[in-house]
Structure 1
C-alpha cells in the first residue's frame, strides 16, 4: 500500500513537527533525565520533543487519509512572516527600555498587523488583553519580577 499525500500543508507541517521534536528530544540527552518526582534538565525538553513527534506523525498521517481534502503547498506570504518576525524583534529591542507590559502591548499590536483584515481597534484590544494576561499570570499569579525599564 502506497501512501498518497492529499493535503500537503498538513503533511509538511507534521514533518516539521517531527524534525523539531526529534531535535529537542535528542539534544536534551546530553543532560541528566531524572524521574517524574525529581525532574532533571533533560526531562521537559525530552517530553516536549516526544509530544511534538507524536503530534507530527498524527498530522502527517491525517494528511494521507483517503478522505482528506486535497490541497497543494503554495508559496509563503513573506509580508506576514516579516511582520511577525519584526514584532518579535521589536519586543526584544523595547523590553529593556519600556518594561514588560508596554513591550508586550507592542508585540501584540504590531503582530496583529500581519492579519489580512487588520483593524487598529482590534489590535489595541488584543494588546491590552495580552498586557492584562501577562500582569495577572506572571506578575500577580507567579510573582515574577520584571525590570520596569528605563522609562518606568
Structure 2
C-alpha cells in the first residue's frame, strides 16, 4: 500500500470515527433536558457540539481524497507530546500563578518556542489575550478564576 493510499484511508477512518463519536454523543446528550434558546438545559450545548462533530467528521471522511494535508511530519517531530506537556504544566500551575499568568506563559511557549513565531507578535498576544479573556470570563460572565501573585 502506498503512502498516499494509506494517508487517504487514515483520513477516512478518522473522519468516520469522529462522526461515530458525535452520534454517540448526540444519543447521550438527548438523555438530559434540552431546554430552549432562552433557557438552555444541560443537553443544549453538548447537543450542538455533538452535531457539529458529526458533521465535520463526515466532511473529513467524504473529502479525504481532496485533502493535501500532510501531518506525518507534525507527528514525527513530537509536537503533540510537547503540547500535552505544556497543557499538563499549565493545569498544575493555574492555582499558583493564576489565570492570566498561566495563559500568558502557555501562549509564549506554544507560539514562541514551539511554533517559532516572531517575538514581536507573540508578546503582545501573550499579554493582551489573557487580559481580554479574563475580562470576558470574570467580569462579564462572572466566572471565578484563580488570581496569581499580587492579584495578577
Report the TM-score when normalising by structure 1: 0.73
- Give per-residue Cα distances to partners, 1:45-92, cap 9 Å, x unaligned: 12210121112212321224xxx2566663623521122111211211
Please name the residue that 1:60 is paired with. 61
Q: After superposition, where does 1:3-152 map in structure 2 within 5 Å?
A: 8=8, 11-64=12-65, 68=66, 74=72, 76-77=75-76, 79-112=78-111, 113-115=113-115, 117-149=116-148, 152=151
**What residue ranges of structure 1 are gaps of 5+ in the alignment?**
none
Between the aligned partners of 1:146 and 1:26, the Cα distance in structure 2 is: 32
Q: Is the 8 A contact 1:90 1:106 kept in 2?
A: no
Check 1:86–1:123 CA distance in 2 against 1; reply closer, same or farther (3 A cut). farther
- Give per-residue Cα distances to partners, 1:30-52, cap 9 Å, x unaligned: 32233445432122212210121
Count of matched residue positions in the alignment of Structure 1 and Structure 2: 144
Q: Is the 8 A contact 1:25 1:49 kept in 2?
A: yes
Between the aligned partners of 1:72 and 1:131, the Cα distance in structure 2 is: 32
- Give per-residue Cα distances to partners, 1:87-108, cap 9 Å, x unaligned: 2112111111111100111121
Check 1:122–1:18 CA distance in 2 against 1; reply closer, same or farther (3 A cut). same
Report the TM-score when normalising by structure 2: 0.73
Which structure dedicates a bigger proportion of its chain to helix? 2
Q: CA deviation at 1:150?
A: 5.9
Larger CA deviation: 48-57 vs 26-35: 26-35
